[in-house]
Amino acid sequence: MITASHHTKERSPPVMRDYLSYSQLNTYRSCPLRYYFRYIEQIPERTVSSALVFGTAIHAALEYWFEEQLAGNSRPDFDLLLAAYQQEWQQRDLGGIEFGKKENLDSLTQLAERVLKTFIESEFATVEGQILGVEEELRDSIIDGCPDLLARLDLIVETDEAVVITDFKTSRSRWNQQQAEQAGEQLLLYSELVKELVPGKPLQLEFLVITKTKQPNLERYSVPVSQSRIDRVRTMVERVWDGINSGLFYPAPSPMSCGSCPFQEPCRKWTG
């Protein structure tokens, strides 16, 4: 590994955390009360969406693929790759998976088979350069006054020209470059942890987006790196941490998010 209270009418006391992840930051920004229930109260999530489990299981299969190459082994065949997917799914399937319309276990397994076959036959299955890390955990203090940033990087590759950081994403529809740049906050933040990994080489940030269509599609999207964009993300982290550390938690109702939120019951009972 590479190292780098119950509700009251009063504002909650400061909350001390050892680290922050991008997932935590994003949860707070989308709904501070959901952050509170998940990370402060640590209320168990009774349900999880099939899309999240599917994405995690596909991610596990790709992780296995690249880990074998990192270890100097031969490429796994399709059956081994599918087994890695199924093993991860079984570990996540604790009886609380909510399937979408026209979805079930069989249909998602068939989709996974198509995705993995498409991946094996694509250019993305071959690494141009030296793999430095797969699902690499990095942790360090990068912003004064904030906890450590904890990041897990899907794939780190060194080429002759740059250190390439790739993040795997699954999506219901195809992305465009604008979406990639909007989603790039995560990679820009992670770049602050990686920049000293191979001093003197520029960083190249990219998403590998897997579209979950009838005929799966794989596309690579680059994320432009600039100091102004990095500074903006760092400021976001500071502002979010100010809210968390001040005990500023409140609901943020959304027709897009509330229906699938696992904390609907405690949210309805929340009075501040």
User: Could you report the per-residue pLDDT of 23-36, keeping only the tens digit for each?
Assistant: 999 999 999 999 99
Query: What angle do the packed helices 185-194 and 227-245 form, to 10 degrees?
Result: 100
Q: How confident is the model at residue 16 (pLDDT cuts 50, 70, 90)?
A: low
Residue 32 CA to residue 11 CA, distance in Å, equals 13
37-59 pLDDT tens trace? 999 999 988 788 899 999 999 99
Residue 19 CA to residue 152 CA, distance in Å, equals 13
The vertex-250 CA angle with 249 and 251, nearest 5°, equals 140
65-118 pLDDT tens trace? 999 999 999 999 999 999 999 999 998 776 678 888 889 999 999 999 999 999
Residue 192 contacts residue 227 (beta carbons within 8 Å):
no
Residue 127, pLDDT > 70, answer yes
Residue 258, pLDDT > 90, answer no
| pLDDT score recorded for residue 223 | 95
User: What's the pTM value of the predicted model, to 2 decimals?
Assistant: 0.87
Share of the chain above pLDDT 90, in %: 76
Residue 18 contacts residue 148 (beta carbons within 8 Å):
yes
Residue 246 CA to residue 207 CA, distance in Å, equals 34
- In whole numbers, what is the pLDDT of the chain averaged over residues? 90
What's the average model confidence in pLDDT over 142-147?
92
CA atoms within 13 A on the CB side of 243: 20
Query: What structural domains does the chain harbor?
Result: 48-234 (3.90.320)
Residue 179 CA to residue 171 CA, distance in Å, equals 12
Q: How confident is the model at residue 218 (pLDDT cuts 50, 70, 90)?
A: very high
Residue 220, pLDDT > 90, answer yes
